[in-house]
Structures are given as C-alpha cells and as structure tokens.
Amino acid sequence: MKKSLALLLCGVLLLLSACGAGSKEAGGEEKEKKEKVVKIGITQIVEHPSLDAAREGFIAALKDAGYEEGKNLKLDYQNAQGDMNNNMSIAQKLVADKNDLILAIATPSAQAVVKQTKDIPILFTAITDPVGAELVQSLEKPGGNATGTSDTHPDAIKNTIAAIKSFIPDAKKVGIIYNNGEPNSVVNVKHAKSALEAAGLEAVETTITASTEVKQAAESMVGRADVLYIPKDNTVVSALESVITVANAQDIPTFVGEGDSVKRGTFASYGFDYHDLGYSTGKMAVEILKGKKPNEIPVGFPENLELFINKKAAKEEGITLTEEMLKNAKIVGE
C-alpha cells in the first residue's frame, strides 16, 4: 500500500513538473514573439523637405500601429546624397542585411532596390511613374515584391500651369530647370510642356546633372523666361535656395511641383502634404508586416490637392496678390 502511494505521489510530481515546463516553454515562446524586432531599411536619394516629410510620415504610421524604434523596430536609414554610386551601394547593403522590409524614397532609390532583390518586400513613396520606372507591372496589380505610393496627382501639373496663366497673364515664356537623368523629372516635364502648350505658353528648358549647377541654370533664365516652373526634380529641389535667390533678385515669379517648396520660399503650387503620403505608405508596411504581400496592395496616390501660396515670396518676386488668388489658397510665409 505504501509502495503504491509512493508511486502515485511520484506520478503526480512528474505531471506537475511536466506542466510547469510546458507552461514555461509556452511563456518563453510568447515572450520571444512579443520581443521580435522588425528590421526596416530606408533608402532616400537626397535630402529635401518633401522626401524627409514622406519618411517621417512613414515612421509615424508604424509608431501608431505599435512599431516603435528602440522597442520592437530597428530602422536603418541611408541617404545617397544624390550620388548614384552611393544609391546602388545602399541598395546592396540593405538587401545583404536581410531587412524584413525596405522603404525606397524617390524613383532612383526604388529602381536600385528593385534590381537587388525579388524576395524582400519593397515599399516606395514619392514616385512619379511607378509603371514607367518599371517598379510595378500595373498600378492596380503591382506584381513582384514592390508596391507603394506615387506623388503624381492627375491634376497637379495642369492646375499649376493654369495658375501661371491666370496669376501672371502677361507671361509668355516659362523656364523649366530639371535633371534629365532623373526619369521622374523627364515624365513631369513632358506633362508640364503639354499643359503649357495647351495654355498657349512656351517652355524654355535648361537641364542640369548636379545640384551645384542649379544656380547657374537659374541665372541663365534671366531675360529668357517670364516665369520659372520647377518640377518635382530631386536634384533641383535639393538646391532650391539657389533658384529662390535668383528669382527674388530678378523679380521672376516661381511656380513649383509641390507644396513644401512653396514653404521654402517659392511663390505657388498645387500640391499636397508629403507627410500624409508617407503615412499612407507606412500603413501599407503594417499590412505587409502582418502577412499581406506587396502584390496584393494597389499603388496609392495623394488624395487632397491644395493651392499653396507664399505671401512673402510674392512680395520678393514682385507679384501683386489679389483676392481671387488668395480665396481658396493655403497661405504660407506670412
């Protein structure tokens, strides 16, 4: 009887021990799952406010979804500073580091990453023409391992050119400065020239290859152009202050491709908030981190288009503001 009781007690102890081990193991697995750190690489072609805002919006969306740097998120942010060799090296590094996801900001950055991996999920933002840049097969069905957001609102360029015609009625020639090595710029300029032609305005083009050439290009427009139009060109926008200096000195009205450049000191644009664009991209990242595939997410676009006018820039560029100009505008630079 004593022997049977002893065996029974041993059995109970063994069972409790096994349950405790199982519970500990399950708890360990749960803890490991909770503490899993997501690795995201970010590549950006150059620094300027619009691209920076898109990156900040992306990170904000992740934080709002519970992914916070220093806790369960590790970010590796790399900036190519406009150098295409750096751009390619960054893409190779982010792939070699086996990030869980890569964010590419602007067309050259996205093209470099897409060439390096077909396995790691890629999100892009601030892209003019994702199909033309060969990042996706179509906007609705991206295919492959990449999707994201485009910064091409269908009415932005058309509305900005219409504003040139309306706000500066005596203008006949519009100077355009851009880097013809940026595929996004070539597309933007093509659309701008079509809109200018439809408005009865003449395009005067000057191309550059580096930000150090921007001031000279702006100076070359003096006497040749009545108005300047700066498209969404990463090289020119990174050195926008050079254009502003010339425009202010020569009283040349300056229209641009996005609202952040108006905030920096140009006159006007139809644009949107790049922080919002980046935030939308961040929401896509959350979907992917939870199991969705990039090819299941259509390319997104900016939803809201606003007229931005900088009052201080208008004064510097010799523009007389009217109630008609200002009544529906988002005013900056007061």
* Spatial CA neighbour of 301 closest among 329, 259, 272, 258: 272
* pLDDT tens, position by position, 140-152: 999 999 999 999 8
331 phi and psi, to 5 degrees?
A: -90, 130
Residue 14, pLDDT above cutoff 80 = no
Residue 84, classed as helix, strand or coil, is helix
Lowest model confidence (mean pLDDT) among 2-6, 44-48, 279-283 = 2-6
Q: For residues 15 and 312, which has the higher predicted lDDT (pLDDT)?
A: 312
Helices and strands, counts by H and E, the chain: 13, 12
d(CA 267, CA 83): 29
Reported as a pLDDT band with limits 50, 70 and 90, residue 34 is low
Q: Residue for token digits 């009052």?
A: 311
pTM of the model: 0.81
* Among 75, 74, 76, 84, CA closest to 46: 84
10 pLDDT more than 80: no
The per-residue pLDDT for range 229-263, each reduced to its tens digit, is 999 999 999 999 999 999 999 999 999 999 999 99
Q: Is the dihedral of CA 146, 296, 281, 69 positive or negative?
A: negative
As a whole number of angstroms, the distance between CA 322 and CA 313 comes to: 14
